[in-house]
């Protein structure tokens, strides 16, 4: 009975507490729904807010009549509160009403470089003290081009991009001996049948070396551009790469009225995965600083062959196949500018950059020549490219 009375006294207290808590909950819910917006004057003074285009300016233009769903231009600088900070929002170029494709074209002005291309070592025994000259092979910058085609995919703003690079060049180095003394000579590893020194007193004319290279390269990238900050956009990618690199090295001189010449070829192809990262830091009014890096690990076949004529004896170097794994590294840094046009129906971008590339273990021409002199096998030399890249890109 006492317990029953205590419960009767407690029931009104529980009822009052429940009514109070329910009223507080309703007040909080109402305040969230009717909270006043940000001060209008503050919005008008915020430099990050841009005026939207007049939707009635052209009723037939879907890019003008569609509601503006973004307060920023995608692919350009944003303000801190434009996007949720926890989501890597897409940062690719986004044109209106197009087919979501883009094309690129690049003029390249690169210098090819290589390991183990020198003509030989000149020894001047007639001088006191004896002097030695390393006869270097000299190269120059040569023109080439790149062309690319890309598509923006519907899935999560990824893009697919393919690019072809072509650089074909021929480099020539001529060496004129400083003296024609009978004690002075040159020795070269390129001569296989007669690797002994050739004396300058017996050489007429110049010693001539010619290096011909032909590079054809195709890269495929699956990438996604996204904001890392208000002014920083990243573009990681993964894909594949294939290239064909054909080289030939010729060395010739006339000794005692007899032509001594050697010609060695290395035709190679390589195929494998490629991945990397590109980034852009947006400066001002469409200008940006950008960087790009990629690395590939490729299965490569090298086909080595050659012919020659030394001491009036002709010879043929039978074809040799060498299979390796080749790594390729690429780096680029530059300055670019871009802008949307005609209510974002298309976009143009221009850039200028310094680019460098390295192709590992490509010079099997010298590899064969040096095996003739060395007891131990030598590592094949690498192939390098560096220089200027000027690019135009058109999104539509």
Q: Which residues pair with 53 in a beta bridge?
A: none
Written as one string, the DSSP assignment of 227-283 is ESSSSEEEEEEEEEEEEEEEEEEEEEEEETTEEEEEEEEEEEEEEEEEEEEEEEEEE
Cβ neighbors of 242 (< 8 A, separation 6 or more) are 217, 218, 269, 270, 271, 298
Identify which has the larger pLDDT, 377 or 358: 358
Q: Are 370 and 189 in contact (CB under 8 A)?
A: yes
Span of 29-33, 289-293, 319-323, 383-387 with lowest mean pLDDT: 29-33
- 4 lies in a domain? no
Beta bridge partners, 32, equal none
On average, the pLDDT of the chain sits at 85
pLDDT of residue 3: 44
pLDDT band at 12 (very low <50, low <70, confident <90, very high): low
Q: Does the residue 325 lie in any domain?
A: yes
Q: Could you tell me the pLDDT band of residue 29, with boundaries at 50, 70 and 90?
A: very low
Asked if pLDDT for residue 153 goes beyond 80, the answer is: yes
- Per the domain annotation, does 31 fall within a domain? no
Q: What whole-number distance in Å separates Cα of residue 33 and Cα of residue 106?
A: 55
Residues 6+ apart with CB under 8 A from 233: 75, 91, 225, 226, 227, 279, 280, 282
Structure tokens at 44: 């008008």
Let me know if residue 73 belongs to a domain: no
Convert the pLDDT of each residue in 260-319 to its tens digit.
Answer: 999 999 999 999 999 999 999 999 999 999 999 999 999 999 999 999 998 888 999 899
Per-residue confidence band for 82, with pLDDT thresholds at 50, 70 and 90: confident
Let me know if residue 44 belongs to a domain.
no
Mean pLDDT of 356-366: 93
Domain span at 384:
101-395
- CB of 194 closer than 8 Å to CB of 316: no
**CA–CA distance, 241 with 272 (Å, rounded to integer):** 6
Q: Number of C-alpha atoms within 13 angstroms, CB side, residue 145? A: 5
Residue 28: pLDDT over 90: no
Q: Is 27 within a domain?
A: no
Among 114-123, 137-146, 231-240, the minimum mean pLDDT is found in 114-123
pLDDT score at 24: 46
Number of structural domains in the chain: 1
Instruction: Decide if pLDDT at 375 tops 70.
Output: no
In a domain, 136, yes or no: yes
Sign of CA dihedral 304, 309, 310, 314: positive
- The pLDDT tens digits of the residues spanning 184-233 come to 999 988 888 877 789 999 999 999 999 999 999 999 999 999 999 889 99
Kindly report the number of other CB atoms within 10 A of residue 315's CB atom. 12
In this prediction the pTM is 0.78
Cα–Cα distance, 208 to 252 (Å, whole number)? 5
Evaluate whether residue 295 is within a structural domain: yes
Q: Indicate which CATH number applies to the domain containing 217.
A: 2.40.128
pLDDT of res. 9? 53
């Amino acid at each position: 009975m006492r317990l029953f009375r205590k419960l009767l006294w407690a029931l009104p207290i529980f009822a009052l507490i429940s009514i109070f808590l329910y009223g507080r909950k309703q007040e909080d819910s109402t305040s969230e729904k009717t909270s006043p917006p940000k001060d209008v004057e503050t919005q008008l003074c915020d430099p990050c807010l841009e005026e939207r285009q007049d939707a009635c300016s052209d009723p037939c233009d879907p890019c003008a009549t569609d509601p503006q769903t973004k307060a920023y231009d995608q692919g350009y600088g944003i303000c801190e509160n434009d996007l949720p900070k926890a989501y890597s929002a897409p940062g690719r170029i986004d044109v209106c009403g197009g087919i979501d494709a883009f094309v690129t074209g690049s003029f390249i002005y690169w210098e090819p470089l290589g390991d183990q291309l020198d003509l030989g070592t000149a020894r001047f025994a007639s001088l006191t003290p004896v002097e030695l000259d390393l006869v270097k092979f000299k190269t120059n910058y040569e023109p080439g081009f790149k062309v690319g085609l890309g598509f923006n995919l519907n899935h999560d703003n990824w893009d697919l991009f393919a690019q072809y690079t072509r650089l074909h060049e021929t480099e020539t180095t001529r060496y004129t001996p400083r003296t024609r003394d009978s004690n002075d000579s040159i020795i070269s590893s390129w001569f296989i049948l007669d690797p002994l020194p050739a004396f300058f007193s017996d050489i007429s004319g110049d010693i001539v070396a010619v290096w011909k290279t032909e590079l054809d390269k195709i890269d495929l990238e699956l990438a996604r551009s996204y904001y890392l900050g208000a002014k920083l956009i990243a573009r990681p990618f993964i894909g594949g790469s294939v290239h064909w690199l054909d080289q030939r090295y010729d060395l010739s001189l006339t000794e005692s009225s007899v032509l001594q010449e050697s010609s060695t070829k290395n035709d190679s192809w390589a195929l494998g995965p490629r991945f990397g990262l590109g980034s852009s830091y947006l400066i001002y009014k469409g200008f940006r600083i950008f960087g790009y890096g990629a690395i590939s690990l490729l299965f490569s076949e090298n086909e080595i062959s050659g012919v020659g004529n030394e001491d009036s004896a002709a010879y043929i170097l039978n074809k040799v196949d060498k299979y390796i794994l080749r790594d390729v590294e690429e780096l680029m840094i530059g300055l670019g500018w871009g802008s949307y046009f005609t209510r974002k129906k298309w976009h143009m971008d221009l850039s200028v950059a310094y680019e460098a590339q390295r192709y590992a273990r490509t010079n099997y021409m010298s590899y064969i020549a040096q095996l003739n002199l060395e007891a131990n096998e030598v590592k094949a030399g690498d192939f390098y490219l560096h220089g200027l890249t000027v690019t135009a890109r058109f999104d539509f």
